[in-house]
Structure 1
Amino acid sequence: MFTFNIDRLIAAVDRCPWSAHAGLTVPNSESFHIDTPRTAKALYTDEERRRRDESPWTLVQGILAPVQFAVFLLSLYLVLDYLASGDGYAWATGSIVAKTIVLYIIMVTGAIWEKDVFGRYLFAPAFYWEDVFSMLVLALHTAYLVSLFLDLLNPTALMVLALSAYATYVINAGQFVLKLRAARLQQNAADAAPAHGASVAGAVK
């Protein structure tokens, strides 16, 4: 059966700029000990981790996340360029609509992924607050579409609304990156514990 290990994907962004502010540091051989208490609850149980690695939706999420970020960066540039120059409104608007469509797709497939892994479509305890904030992200993007198609706001106000939606998206993306990175560090620590214990036992013998 095809499997996809999301830990490798998170490892690729292991040096994200938010990690230091979150107090996430990789345990090394000098600072980590076998008797160090680990009170943080693991993000996945062994069974959930197995389901995550076997779910085809894990790969879908792994592909859509960087695609959405790339669309976001392009759209952010176009929006800021329009606000600065007054030109390129159609391109900026099209990019925001495209970003919103990708958001809808990743939200739907993400809910299916949560169902596969945790047994519920949204608000699984492991990602509860991330999902709650995702609702705000979705609401602001949807408000932009409604305002655009019903002609409720002028072009500048629409772009400001889009930027507000983008700000919440960046925060939400950071939430997920930090949560998944913390889970990877927990797993690394758990994997290192038996090896450390074995080496201590061997030294005693």
Structure 2
Amino acid sequence: MPTTDRIAGLIDALDCSPWGASCGRTRRAHGSSRPLYTNEERRRRDASPWTVVQGVLAPLQFAVFLVSLALVTRYLLTGAGYEIATWSVVIKTLVLYAIMVTGCIWEKEVFGRWLFAPAFFWEDVFSMLVLALHTAYLGVVIAGIGDGRAQMLLALAAYAAYVFNAAQFLLKLRAARREDGRWQGGSHAAPGAAG
């Protein structure tokens, strides 16, 4: 079985979980749940330049994360490269701040809220934890709290939270694509329908 089929199977299994709102499930129970985007929100999403910005920053952040993870792991295993590992986490954190700020602007433009729009509520909640852990890392480095190993372990905790949060957003993107396919296929609600 190809890897993509295995991943799709795993995602489908998660899509049926009781935590559907946080994993991007848009399946309707008796037709009562709100779609991810209303027609107007979809129009604003597609017209927003911030959608493109998010589409660029997300893979950039992931690439920075992978490089930084390698450098942090190298330091933890060998004790070498503390400074470059530290700078890599600082850069990852700055990219995170950029994606958070632009994401808030995008959310305001599309949903009329800076944060915690119903469609992205749980993603935003967990993003706050990711942001807090990354900011705590900057704080301990600037204040010189703990040794390099303790600091890098905090960075790894921040990275673990980031991976979980990134998975939330990937599942939501997958749900949005499914919903867009149904919408384009003619099974969408009447124009202007609100949830």
Same fold (TM over 0.5): yes
Residue 40 of structure 1: CA displacement?
A: 4.4
User: Which residue number corresponds to residue 150 of structure 1?
Assistant: 143
SS in 1 for 2:15: coil
- Aligned 8 A contact 1:57 1:109 in 2: yes
Q: If you compute each CA radius of gyration, which structure gives the higher value, 1 or 2? A: 1
TM-score (normalizing by structure 1): 0.77
Aligned to 2:42: 49
Aligned to 1:80: 73
| Aligned partner letter, 1:119 | G
Show the 5 A alignment for 1:60-75. Answer: 60-75=53-68
Partner of 2:15: 23
Structure 1 position 185, deviation (Å): 1.2
Consecutive unaligned residues in structure 1, runs of 5 or more: 1-12, 25-35, 195-205
Superposition pairs of residues 185-200 of structure 1, within 5 angstroms: 185-192=178-185
Q: How many residues align?
A: 171
Residue in structure 1 matched with residue 92 of structure 2 by the alignment: 99
Gaps of 5+ in 2: 17-28, 188-195
Letter in 1 for 2:82: Y
Residues 109-155 of structure 1 show CA distances to partners (whole Å, capped at 9, x for unaligned) of: 00000010001111111101110000000000000000000011110
Alignment of 1:163-178 (within 5 A): 163-178=156-171
Q: Kindly state the Cα deviation for residue 97 of structure 1 after the two structures are TM-superposed.
A: 0.2
Contact 1:42 1:183 in 2 (8 A): no
Partner of 1:123, secondary structure, is: coil
Q: What is the match of residue 125 of structure 1?
A: 118
Determine the C-alpha separation between the residues in 1 that align with 2:105 and 2:160: 25
Which whole-Å deviations, capped at 9, do the CAs of 1:142-195 have from their partners, x for residues lacking one?
Answer: 00000000011110000000000000000001001101211221232344455x
Deviation at 1:37, TM superposition (A): 6.1
Kindly provide the amino acid, as one letter, of the partner of residue 147 in structure 2.
Answer: N
Secondary structure, counterpart of 1:41 in structure 2: coil
More helix by percentage: 2
Paired AA for residue 65 in structure 2: F
In structure 2, distance between residues paired with 1:118 and 1:188: 21
Evaluate the alpha carbon distance shift between residue 123 and residue 38 of structure 1 in structure 2; reply closer, same or farther with a 3 A threshold. Answer: same
The normalised TM-score by structure 2 is 0.81
Residue identity matched to 1:22: L
Letter in 1 for 2:13: H
For 2:135 and 2:44, how far apart are their aligned partners in 1?
A: 32
